[in-house]
Copies of this chain bind each other. A is one copy, B any other.
Amino acid sequence: MAQRGTRQKIVEIADDLFYRQGFEHTSFADIAKVVNISRGNFYHHFKSKDEILDAVIKTRLEMTQQMLVDWEEEGASPKERIESYIRILLTNWTMIKEYGCPVGTLCTELAKLNHTSKEQASKVFTLFRIWLRQQFSQLGYGDEADGLAMHVLSWSQGVATLGNAFNDLEYVSQEVSKMCDWLDVMSRRNISGKKSNQKKR
């Protein structure tokens, strides 16, 4: 019981520190200090720093998946569900303005480190991608659904990066409005094909 508790605590705190300080800039000592355990104990749970990273990414994948399930249940329509995604830019603004997007910043850092877990980290993006694609499919977009999902993904990603760089909430709010307006147009356009998802253009 104590084992899983400590292990989980390590992962949670490592997750937070990797996000706020970056993976490489976070040391074993940093994590151990916050968890309040010795480095020796640390090594009993994780054999290497990369192993913690893998655990953190795994947790993020699970948390993301759960969040998507929640959005699926909460949102009455595909449009509302996609809006849930768009809104995280504002929901998590206090973190984003300081540390950027957790997913994007980890991917870019691992890319520069040429780290083997880079692909694994990008799978968090894939989760959003698949989920968004599904929503657009339900809006009647067949072949275009994936492209639209990627469009939303990149748009929000860019807003997070620029919002962080300029620390500008007003700009982020405006872009969120633009995205919702765009989504509004998109959801009306194919309202006819809503029930015939597979309809070829």
For the complex with contacts A99-B111, A122-B166, A125-B166, 15 further pairs of A-B residues with Cβ separation under 8 Å are A24-B24, A24-B25, A99-B112, A100-B108, A107-B161, A108-B108, A122-B165, A150-B171, A153-B158, A153-B162, A154-B158, A155-B155, A155-B158, A157-B158, A157-B161
Give every chain B residue within 8 A of A161 (Cβ-Cβ).
104, 107-108, 154, 157-158, 161
A residues neighboring B (CB under 8 Å) = 20-22, 24-25, 98-100, 104-105, 107-109, 111-113, 121-122, 125, 147, 150-151, 153-159, 161-162, 164-166, 171, 174-175, 178
**A108 to B105, Cβ gap below 8 A?**
yes
8 smallest beta-carbon distances between A and B, as pairs: A158-B158, A154-B158, A157-B158, A122-B165, A22-B112, A107-B165, A154-B162, A100-B108
Considering the complex, give the chain B residue whose CB is closest to the CB of A146: B171
Cα(A105)–Cα(B165), bound, Å: 10
Give every chain B residue within 8 A of A121 (Cβ-Cβ).
165
Give every chain B residue within 8 A of A21 (Cβ-Cβ).
112-113
